[in-house]
Amino acid sequence: MIKNLLIIDDDPHSVELTEHVVRDYQFAEKIKVLANGREGLSYFNLLATEPNVPAPELVILDLYMPIMNGWEFLDAFSIRYRDRFPQTCFCLLSASKSPEDKLKSLSYSCVIYLINKPIAARHLGFLEKFLQSRSQLFLNTGEKWE
């Protein structure tokens, strides 16, 4: 179980389903939900200025949202916050089955998985194993893992 999960998605039905699956699978202790990439950047800005607020281990990020989509968010996060939050990984969600999305997702080192909506327990099983392995890697290198 991870401590902190952030969901950035504008679709209330998708958020409700994701939260339901996460709770049923007992995947995360705390879940925070934001509606678009701009809110996500504001949240990471807060985290950067508040050292006592733990960063999420995983962000489940919808790719296609109004105001600021997932790609725009990832571009800005990579420039502004990637070095500050190296432990934060991203799982992308998309209703699109575009091969271009899969290819583009590979260009971000912080992205670990691209899921076609809806998310399911089997996806969380993969994410949990990956994050456990990654957490062990951080422990072995002496870097801080929250």
Write the CATH number for 34: 3.40.50.2300
Sequence letter at residue 68? M
Note whether residue 146 is domain-resident: no
pLDDT in tens, 122-146: 999 888 888 877 666 555 555 554 4
Edge-to-edge, what's the strand order for the sheet holding 28-34? 28-34, 2-8, 58-62, 89-94, 111-116
Note whether residue 23 is domain-resident: yes
- Number of structural domains (the chain) is 1
Name which of 6, 2, 4, 60 is nearest 26 in CA terms: 2
Contacts of 32 (CB under 8 A, 6+ apart): 4, 5, 6, 7, 43, 56
By residue range, what is the domain housing residue 92?
2-141
pLDDT in tens, 46-102: 999 998 889 999 999 999 999 999 999 999 999 999 999 998 999 999 988 888 988
- Work out the angle at residue 76's Cα, subtended by the Cα atoms of residues 80 and 102, and round it to the nearest 5 degrees: 130
Name which of 15, 126, 121 is nearest 62 in CA terms: 15
pTM, rounded to two decimals? 0.89
Q: Is the pLDDT of residue 113 over 80?
A: yes
Torsion angle in degrees (nearest 10) through CA of 8, 19, 126, 80: 20
Judge contact between 7 and 31, C-beta under 8 A. Answer: yes
Note whether residue 13 is domain-resident: yes
Distance CA 9, CA 83 (A): 24
72 C-beta neighbours (distance < 10 Å), count: 16
Judge contact between 87 and 55, C-beta under 8 A. Answer: yes
Sequence letter at residue 52? N
Distance CA 144, CA 146 (A): 6
- When pLDDT is averaged across residues 22-43 and rounded to a whole number, the result is 96
Q: Is the pLDDT of residue 109 over 60?
A: yes
